[in-house]
């Protein structure tokens, strides 16, 4: 049996700010865009637990945060500071095992199965990590200890801040049973609604459902995964070297198509998806690769690397479209189209200014603003809650 830890820093950016300036402790602190300058545009990057009491959360428009709590302390994002604190914390984690998989700037999985002889069991290691991080960085971390990644991550979320939740082997189902289905990985708005219609409200309800019923309603892959997770099964390994090399998505048309406009629209939809996943990971990309398969089975790929960071559909789609137009010889029907983003890096705290930008305004700003608003809505209401007009499938009223 493996021992997996998930360590997740508590309100990381805000906590670092409070540590740098102890006068902030106890007050609501919001890190993000300037609520007054910039006309209240931009979003909350992070906030502390005091600010959350006012209903403020990350990705909320900064103007909304200001409305909810004008007395909060609003601070700019200091990316370099957070990265340097993060890398020191990761070094602490790496002192316990070589198997540390960094998920983002403030969370990581650890496989400590092989370290227990040296440092004691999972709980002892978790306590020791919490103590060491607090001693060195004056910051708190919530840790989940469990037999697999899924349970460890769930456990770390349960008692934030400064939490320590243990899921012992043999009690996985008991731990999961009362939790709402929305806690399951892969359950969003759509699946959640469907489960609700089936009378399934808790993870325990899913675990108790016959597998074939889930497969019938959610397909073999998704249904099977729900069932396994609900039963506390997850065999994904902790992969230390695992840096995301690329984020991609491709689709095969039902039948080979000559309709170039349809291909372009499909490409737009795929771009929208990969751009959202990119932002969800807090990453930006530099290289766009287009994959095109023409009938019967010839595959072409074309890529372009830009000298700027890409995060939005507005920035990525024109590049993808140019690659498509250059690759497509318009001779044969198209079977498959795909896009992938690589040259991935954390979103950079610095921004190259442009000569022809309006003063004080970032040209990518409005696209970035729209994207984060959409991300937020998608997060709350599901993937299809907001769509580009171009991607909405028109249903013509009958008789026309």
Please state the closest distance from residue 23 (CB atom) to another protein, in A.
Answer: 20
| Candidate residues 356, 393, 398, 400; the one interacting with another protein per rule CB under 8 A | 356
Of 17, 50, 101, 107, which one is the catalytic site residue?
107
Please state the closest distance from residue 82 (CB atom) to another protein, in A.
Answer: 9
| Candidate residues 67, 114, 318, 377; the one interacting with another protein per rule CB under 8 A | 318
CA angle 96, 99, 100 (to 5 degrees): 80
Q: Is 107 a catalytic residue?
A: yes
Residue 143: both structure tokens together:
């840790």
| Candidate residues 140, 322, 369, 387; the one interacting with another protein per rule CB under 8 A | 322
Indicate the Cα dihedral angle 295, 297, 300, 301, nearest 10°.
120
Kindly provide the b/e burial profile for residues 300-324, where b requires at least 16 CB atoms within 10 angstroms of the residue's own CB. Answer: eebeeeeeebbbbbbbbbebbbebb
Kind plus residue range of the DSSP H or E element containing 339: strand 334-342
Please state the closest distance from residue 244 (CB atom) to another protein, in A.
Answer: 15
Nearest to 337 by CA among 230, 262, 228: 262
Contact positions with another protein (CB under 8 A) in 43-82: 76-81
| Candidate residues 178, 307, 358, 398; the one interacting with another protein per rule CB under 8 A | 307
Binding part of the chain for another protein, among 206-214, 353-361, 364-372, 374-382 by CB under 8 A, reads 353-361
Residue nearer to another protein on the CB measure, 190 or 302: 302
Residue nearer to another protein on the CB measure, 90 or 237: 90
Beta-sheet strands, E only, within 227-332 = 246-257, 283-294, 298-310
- What CA–CA distance (Å, rounded) separates 288 from 278? 12
Cβ–Cβ under 8 Å, residues 311 and 347? yes
| Candidate residues 220, 348, 385, 391; the one interacting with another protein per rule CB under 8 A | 348
Q: What is the DSSP letter of 24?
A: G
Please state the closest distance from residue 166 (CB atom) to another protein, in A.
Answer: 32
Length of the chain: 400
Residue nearer to another protein on the CB measure, 329 or 394: 329
Is residue 23 involved in binding another protein (CB under 8 A)?
Answer: no
Residue 287: both structure tokens together:
């290289």
Q: Which residues of the chain form contacts with another protein (CB under 8 A)?
A: 76-81, 83-84, 86-87, 286, 306-307, 309, 318-319, 322, 329, 345, 348-356
Residues taking part in catalysis? 107
């Amino acid at each position: 049996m493996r021992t997996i830890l998930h360590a997740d820093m508590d309100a990381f950016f805000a906590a670092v700010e409070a540590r740098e300036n102890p006068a902030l402790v106890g007050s609501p602190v919001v890190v993000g865009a300037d609520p007054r300058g910039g006309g209240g545009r931009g979003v909350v990057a992070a906030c502390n637990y005091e600010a959350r009491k006012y209903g403020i959360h990350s990705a909320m428009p900064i103007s909304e945060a200001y409305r909810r709590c004008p007395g909060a302390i609003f601070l700019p994002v200091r990316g370099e500071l957070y990265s340097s604190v993060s890398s020191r914390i990761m070094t602490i984690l790496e002192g316990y095992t070589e198997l540390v998989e960094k998920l983002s700037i403030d969370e990581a999985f650890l496989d400590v199965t092989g370290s227990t002889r040296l440092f004691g069991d999972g709980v002892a290691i978790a306590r020791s990590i919490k103590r060491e991080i607090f001693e060195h960085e004056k910051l708190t971390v919530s840790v989940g200890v469990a037999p697999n990644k899924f349970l460890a991550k769930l456990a770390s979320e349960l008692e934030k801040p400064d939490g320590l939740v243990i899921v012992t082997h043999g009690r996985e189902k008991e731990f999961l049973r009362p939790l709402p289905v929305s806690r399951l990985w892969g359950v969003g708005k759509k699946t959640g609604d469907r489960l609700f219609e089936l009378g399934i409200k808790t993870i325990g309800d899913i675990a108790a459902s016959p597998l074939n019923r889930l497969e019938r309603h959610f397909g073999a892959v998704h249904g099977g995964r729900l069932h396994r997770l609900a039963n506390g099964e997850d065999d994904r390994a902790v992969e230390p070297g695992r840096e995301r090399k690329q984020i991609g998505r491709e689709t095969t048309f039902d039948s080979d198509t000559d309709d170039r406009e349809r291909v372009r629209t499909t490409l737009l939809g795929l771009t929208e998806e990969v751009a959202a996943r990119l932002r969800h990971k807090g990453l930006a990309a530099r290289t766009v690769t287009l994959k095109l398969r023409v009938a019967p089975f010839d595959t072409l790929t074309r890529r372009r690397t830009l000298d700027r960071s890409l995060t939005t559909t507005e920035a990525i789609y024109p590049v993808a479209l140019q690659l498509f137009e250059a690759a497509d010889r318009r001779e044969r029907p198209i079977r498959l189209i795909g896009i992938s983003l690589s040259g991935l890096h954390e979103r950079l705290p610095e921004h190259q200014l442009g000569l022809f930008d309006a003063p004080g305004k970032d040209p990518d700003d409005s696209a970035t603003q729209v994207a984060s608003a959409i991300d937020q809505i998608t997060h709350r209401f599901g993937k299809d809650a907001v769509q580009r007009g171009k991607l909405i499938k028109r249903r013509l009223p009958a008789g026309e």
